[in-house]
Amino acid sequence: MTTSNTMKLAGIYMLVLACLAPTWVHAQLNPATTCEPVVRGTNYRQCPAGRGSTCYVEVLGNNLNNFRGSGCGTCNRQGSTFLCTDFTFIFRSATQVEVRVNSARVTRLNVATIIAGNGNNARVCQTTGSPVGGNPFRLTSPAGNINSVRVCFNPVNCGYGGSLCGDPKIVGGDGVMFYFHGYKNADFCLVSDSDLQINAHFIGKRPANRSRDFTWVQALGFVYGPNALTVGVKKVAKWDAAVDHLEFTLNGKAFTVEESSWSSPDETITINRIGARNSVDLVVRRKMGVTLTAVPIGHEENRVHKYGITDDDCFAHFNMQFRFYSLSTHVNGVLGQTYQEGFKNPVKRGVAMPIMGGADRYITSSLLATDCKVNQYSATPVEMKDQSHLPNLASCGSGTSGILMCKR
């Protein structure tokens, strides 16, 4: 092949790449949609059954500076941007909206829909693929100005029906909400019972001019029978949802959950994967279970809440949902104490941030230690007559305010 022909082929190859690249970016940013006429009497404000929770944003009076939303979290307007804790809607023009998803609060985006135009020309357009790919992504109207946007999604179970999310905000077994301020790079006992210890490792960040840390739960430690088990999220600079970031140890030895499930040698602890990566359900037989979902702090969340997180660490952490089958009446720990019969929560009610102090009572020397001041662990099974009869569901995780949250 002559030099001239080689140069021609190279030129053609570069031209093909130049043509293909914009198409790939366009496909990622603009998911495929299908449009049809608006059907009168149809409730487009709510997602169809089985498509998840609804976030609905309405443009008022064709004014791109005036919006009304529901189901999207806490929202505020910033010019032509409608900024919410779950989603951000940026109206690039009257006929195009860019949607950004807060991955710390949304696990899956099932479908996105816009309603545009007026009268007989009104159209409803929705994405055809599920889940919706790309973050952010844009929806463009072929039929006039956008009147409303609806997204159907699966939320992270944080702060609903027993979740532990963020810098420790707790709603315990007694139904009382309070905040727990631990310290970064320290371990605290969440539950200490005669036959079970659950500790949490806190990571955190303290921006300048702030008196306390923002904290999140990076790992959990479980002591039960002969098993000392840890489940953690690896420290990563940039979150890649296509990569599994979980790590496990049993009695000091690292292991992996290669298949869909894993069991301890004595079969008292089982770990089941939820999907291919970054979410598992852990069960201690006849004792408790917890769903763990690893999430990062997103760029938008970091900006809004001024966490001060830099590009070297996305502070990946767990959102958790606990369920308890048998706790003793003397169970203790940050969460466990709220399941004591007759527990009187000492936090001040009716204030914006009721705080549970006494972090020194719950701190442990390591993730698997049973040496907190309120320790109840003795490797002794809980007798049936000594079991608590309080509600058994609690969910815990990391909320947008940077605090640990548990709720039954």
pLDDT of residue 175: 66
pLDDT score recorded for residue 174: 66
* Predicted pLDDT of residue 190: 92
Q: Is the pTM of this model over 0.75?
A: no
pLDDT given for residue 289 in this prediction: 85
Give the per-residue pLDDT at 46: 81
pLDDT score for 145: 93
| DSSP string covering 237-299 | SS--TTS--EEEEETTEEE---SSEEE-TTSSEEEEESSSSSEEEEEETTTEEEEEEEEPPPH
Are the beta carbons of 174 and 184 closer than 8 angstroms? no
- pLDDT, residue 36, reads 93
User: pLDDT per position in the chain (408 positions), as tens?
Assistant: 544 454 444 343 333 322 333 322 333 478 888 999 999 888 888 887 667 778 899 999 888 888 888 878 778 888 999 988 788 999 999 999 999 988 766 777 889 999 999 888 899 999 987 778 778 899 999 989 999 999 988 766 554 434 565 555 566 666 666 777 788 999 999 999 999 999 999 999 887 777 778 888 999 999 999 999 999 999 999 988 889 999 999 999 999 998 888 999 999 999 998 877 888 889 998 888 888 888 888 877 788 778 888 889 999 998 887 878 888 989 999 888 888 888 787 777 766 667 777 889 999 999 999 999 999 999 988 775 566 654 555 556 555 455 565 555
Instruction: Kindly give, in sequence order, each residue whose CB lies less than 8 Å from that of residue 165, ignoring residues fewer than 6 positions away.
Output: 156, 158, 159, 319, 320, 395, 396, 397, 398, 399, 404, 405
Question: What does residue 19 show for φ and ψ, rounded to 5 degrees?
Answer: -80, -35
CB 308 within 8 A of CB 261: no
Concatenated DSSP letters of 88-121: EEEEEETTEEEEEE-TTTEEEEEEEEEEES-GGG
User: According to the model, what pLDDT value does residue 405 have?
Assistant: 57
Contact 86, 55 (CB under 8 A): yes
pLDDT of 162 reads 45
The reported pLDDT for the residue numbered 302 is: 81
Q: Using a CB cutoff of 8 Å and minimum separation of 24, what contacts does 201-204 make? A: 201/232, 201/367, 202/168, 203/315, 203/317, 204/167, 204/402
194 near 330, Cβ under 8 Å?
yes
Place of tokens 């929770």: 53
Residues 6+ apart with CB under 8 A from 223: 196, 197, 229, 368, 370, 377
pLDDT of residue 304: 76
DSSP string, 179-228: EE---TTEEEEEEE-SS-EEEEEEEEE--TT-SS-EEEEEEEEEEETTEE
In angstroms, the CA 198 to CA 273 distance is 20
CA pair distance 99, 309, nearest whole angstrom: 23
pLDDT of the residue at 11 = 40
Give yes or no for a contact between 206 and 402, defined as CB atoms under 8 angstroms apart: no
